[in-house]
A and B are shown apart, each in its own frame.
Chain A
Amino acid sequence: MDRKDDHIFIKILLLAFLLLLLYSWFTFHIYNDLISKITGAFLTFWAFVSFFISYQKKESRDKFKDILSKWLSGILNYRFIAFLYILFFISGSFISSVHIYSNNNKNITVSIYDDRDSVSGKLGPQKQELKHTILTTPFGRTMMLAADGYQKAQVQIFPWTGKRIIVEQYLKISPTLILRIPEEHFMQLSKARINIDTKGSKKTFETDRHTVIVIGQSPEIPEKYCNKWLNELRATYENNIIIYKVLNKWCDTTPLFIPLNLGTYDSIRVDLISRAGDTLAVCKGITDTGKFKELRFKNREK
């Protein structure tokens, strides 16, 4: 037995360890399906070759073993093994992955992007995990993560470790704006409309008798707002019939819910337009870090 043969066990161990690392790395960063397909293909190939060899004559079997022995001696070589380790290290330094989880009970679109790349997918009750293999650098790569109903956030993706994100924990929920239609315009609401201008897009909605407009993610009006409005009304009116009529209009009717992904410090302008086309009131404001924010309409200057 030569010198090489003396280290065959160590070489096999090194190779096996490399395969273990490779398998783990593949499992973590590359889709499981791909690993199982590669493994399955390899085993099928080996089973077919073994079956075929077992029915050959002894000379043929010996010849095949010689060929296999030459291959193995070529592989079980310190230089080659070192090459494989270096190749794996270099590859592993440029490939990473992002794993995104959500237990949201509605379908949301999640995307991760930067100037060069953009990948996205849907999460929801049917699918609670998304995996994306991302090209990175040895020093990491900064990308943006966006999800419906949540504020965007930066994500640092490093090689080897990758990034695991639970949407509900990692991202802040997108702010929701609450807009009350001033009571003096209630009589207009059967046929009025609102124009929403935010982030460069303009949309128009019929008010359809709704007295409160909720723009954002949460369609409900928190109780604290109704208490606040009651105090305001008491400061303005003496007649209890009027106070509670107005309050009921605001708090006991379904608000007009406009789902919109607002980020922190997004500016918004909402115009209340009468049936005849006059601008009755205008509401301008900027979102903040809170979950809810109330913006007020100001009547158009007469």
Chain B
Amino acid sequence: MNRIDARFHQLKQKGRPALVPYITAGYPSPDATVAVLHAAVEAGADLLELGMPFSDVMADGPVIQEACARALEQGTHLDEVLAMVAEFRRKDAHTPVILMGYTNPIERRGVARFVEEAAAAGVDGMLIVDCPADEAADLCAALADKDLHQIFLVAPTTTESRLERTAELAGGFVYYVSIKGVTGAATLDTDSLAPAVERIRARMDLPVAVGFGIRTPEQAAATARAADAVVIGSALVQRLGRCERVDEAVRTVHEFLAPIRQAMDNNAPSHDQKQTLSA
């Protein structure tokens, strides 16, 4: 069973909402990444998103753009990212790792070859930002061949017909982009979240993760009341950028994620409520 499916199955039984931090591989430095991933799990992360640096991150905001630029300057390309995942797997056999990135570096490597190498390294899914369902057939087939999931984005503006098309190809979970904009741009409006998540659930039988614009424990807790998983990206990456040493980066991850985890867990009554509602 794919680790993503196993993890969500387990979380559902526990009634625990998933915390999914995103970090850019190689940022603030290549030697920090594996330590940061382990630290994130210790601080309460259930799944991990690892960004593959790209030179032209059209769908990301200034924080992740800067992180990618610095990671590239330090030579973090696909080989390095996969080596990081493989190293992470030596000590953690269960936490799912999802690669996030853009199409061109993958096509340059060759889609089938990259998917094979990623599977061997211990990757569980990929979210390729500039590869919507319309263009995803080749990548999806290659991923399915290795029992890896392709994670898709759904936006507030996604139409019903697009939702249907996405549902046909999506696996693992679906990532709801909670705001209009790029990563790290604005602040989430948690009130509009519940109906949006319900709209997705009506179309597909997959856990719904919510991301973009979540910065505080309160926002994470409010998001966890409506969705199955909470993605934290730019706010964490921004803090990592201020760290000069690996131990600082590890401490920063703990200090930032632990209160978020706690706030999400204190939600337990409302989470039960949600389950009652949807039952």
Q: Do A and B come from one complex?
A: no
* Residues of A bordering B, CB below 8 Å: none
